[in-house]
Amino acid sequence: MIVHMRIDNRLIHGQVTVTWVSSLGADHLMVVNDEVADDPIQKTMLPMAARGVKTSVLSIEDAVRHCKEALDKEKIMIIAKFPSDALALLEKGIEPKEINVGNQAPLPGTKYKMVTKSIAVTPDDARIYRRINELYHLTSQMIPSDSKKDFIKLIEDKGL
């Protein structure tokens, strides 16, 4: 079961390992991004950052395959690096209980607007987020104890 999908380009950090994993009861963290999955250093370091939680660093295709095989055996929290990764997973049949935009640090050379103090969104990102929202209600929530905010309203309020 996919208990949660978080879009967060910082990947694994304290908010994820300390608050999200325990709040969700997740027993498997899955980082999903094709480039990260091809990087041997990140594949080694990210599980170390997970503080003992079972962690996989997978391409989109491998993540889809694993989720379909492990459907009732694990409580999976997916961390999609970018909104495009999250959309690709959804379009390939992944069905998380909920989707949350966590952190999106600005990428150098992009024309972004800060939607919150930790979420940068480009016009292309905004289009992808809207497409995701057609499939699942998209929220923003830094930690589980924060109230959920309607993410599409946040980007609309910034003119995106």
Domain count for the chain: 1
What confidence tens digit (pLDDT) does each residue in 25-79 have?
999 999 999 999 999 999 999 999 888 899 999 999 999 999 988 878 999 999 9
SS (H, E, C) 132-156: HHHHCCEEECCCCCCCCEEHHHHHH
- Residues designated as active site: 13
Cβ neighbours of 14 (radius 10 Å)? 12
Please report how the helices 83-91 and 60-69 are oriented relative to each other, as an axis angle in degrees rounded to 10.
50
What pLDDT is stored for residue 77 in this prediction? 96
Element (DSSP H or E) covering residue 113: strand 113-116
Provide the residue range defining the domain that includes 92. 2-157
Q: Return the CA Rg of the chain.
A: 15
Task: Identify the CATH number of the domain in which residue 60 sits.
Answer: 3.40.35.10
**Residues 66-86 pLDDT 10s:** 998 887 899 999 999 999 999
* Cβ neighbours for 98, distance < 8 A, ≥ 6 positions apart: 4, 5, 136, 137, 139
The percentage of residues in the chain with a pLDDT greater than 70, rounded to a whole number, is 99
39 Cβ partners below 8 Å, 6+ apart?
Answer: none
Between CA 80 and CA 66 the distance in angstroms is: 15
Written as one string, the DSSP assignment of 12-57 is: S-HIIIIIIHHHHT-SEEEEE-HHHHT-HHHHHHHHHHTTTSEEEE
* Tally of CA atoms within 13 A in the half-sphere of 1 that contains its CB: 9
